[in-house]
Structure 1
Amino acid sequence: MSPLGTRQAREREWLLVKTDFLVQAARNPTLAHVLSAHRGRLRQVVAERLRLQAERNPLPAALPDAESAAWAAVGVYDGVTVQLLLDGDTSGARARLARLLTALLADRAGAGTSADR
C-alpha cells in the first residue's frame, strides 16, 4: 500500500472511531457530557482563530461573532465528515470543506479577492 493510501486508511479509521463515539455519546449521558465538553473546547479554539482573522477580514453579518461562526464551522466539518465516510472521496471532501467554509465565513462586502470568496 502506498504512503498516501495508508494515510487515507488511517484518516478513515479515525473518522469511523469518531463516528462510533458520537453514536455512543448520543445514547449515554455521561459520554455525551464528555463529548460536549470536548466540542466546547474545540469551538473555543476555532472561535479564537476566527477572532484573529476577523481583525483583518470581518465575519459575515449572518455570523455576528466568532462563537457563532465557530458553531457553524464545526457543523460544516461534521457534515463533510459524514459525506467522506459515505463516498470515500478524500480529496473531494477536502475541497468541499474549503469551499463551504469560505462561503460560510467570507465577508461578502469586505476585503479579499474573488478567490477568497
Structure 2
Amino acid sequence: MTILVVEPMKTPTVQEIDGSLESMQRIVGGDIEAVYPFDDPVALVCHGEGKLLGLPMNRALTDESGVPYDIVCGTFFVVGIGDEDFTSLTEQQIEKYRKKYANEMVFSVPVPSGNHKKQCNKEKNEHER
C-alpha cells in the first residue's frame, strides 16, 4: 500500500507498507487514530495520543479558508480510503498532499519548556467544544 508519511521538521515521503495494523503503528509510534479532514477519499492517520504524550508539533489542520483549527503532534501519514479498508493513494493524491505538506513545511510555535503538553491539550480541548 502506498502512503505519504509526514514527519515533524521533514518533507513528506512516499512509502510502501503492507497495510497491517503493526506497520501503521510502527510509523506513528503507537496506537493509530484516523481522522478525515479532507473532502478527498483519504484519511490522515496519526498517533491517537500524540498530544497527550507531548509528541513534537507537526502540521496544522486547516479549514477550507486555510485557517488552522488543530495541530497534529507526531508523525502521521495520509492514506486512501476504500470500501472497507485503507488503500494506496493515487498519483494525484500523492502529489496534492506532498505539495500541501511541503509548503506547510513545519508548524512551529515557540512554547516555553514544560508547557508543550499543556498547550496541545488546551488546543485539543478547545477543538472538542
Name the TM tier (shorter chain): under 0.3
Larger Rg: 1
Answer 1 or 2: higher relative contact order, Cα 8 Å, separation at least 6. 2
Instruction: Give the structure with the higher percent strand.
Output: 2
Instruction: Give the structure with the higher percent helix.
Output: 1
TM-score, with structure 1 as normaliser: 0.27
